[in-house]
């Protein structure tokens, strides 16, 4: 019986794709409090990041308004952005729950 429960838990666990994993990592780096204060972050490509995934995420970032990209000699990418004004932060909130701002891609 214990084996069947473990097998069920494994079946429930879903693996995320490489693009999702890279997207979450980049989003987390952009949304980090230090990056938000300094308004820049440098993203390094890891050995586990596939070429296709890297190109797709970098492509999405390059299409995002308000982000300046600098391609560094070490193949990292530095993203810079201006501070948002209150007009840029218009959000509709149905309740008084805390709202987390997400990356622009």
- The domain locations on the chain are 17-82
Given this structure, which CATH class describes domain 17-82? alpha beta
Q: Which class for 35: exposed (0-12), middle (13-18), buried (19 or more C-beta within 10 A)? A: middle
Average pLDDT over residues 7-18: 73
- Average of pLDDT values for 10-17? 75
The confidence score (pLDDT) of residue 6 equals: 65
Per-residue pLDDT band at 33 (split at 50, 70, 90) = very high
Average pLDDT score over residue span 47-67: 94
Beta bridge partners of 40: 80
């Amino acid at each position: 019986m214990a084996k069947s429960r473990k097998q069920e838990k494994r079946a429930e666990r879903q693996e995320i794709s490489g693009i999702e994993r890279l997207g979450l990592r980049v989003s987390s780096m952009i949304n980090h409090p230090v990056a938000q204060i300094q308004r820049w972050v440098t993203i390094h490509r890891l050995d586990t990041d596939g070429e296709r995934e890297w190109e797709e995420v970098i492509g999405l970032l390059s299409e995002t308004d308000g982000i300046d990209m600098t391609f560094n000699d070490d193949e990292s990418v530095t993203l810079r952005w201006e501070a948002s004004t209150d007009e840029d932060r218009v959000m509709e909130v149905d309740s008084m729950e805390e709202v987390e701002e997400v990356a622009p891609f």
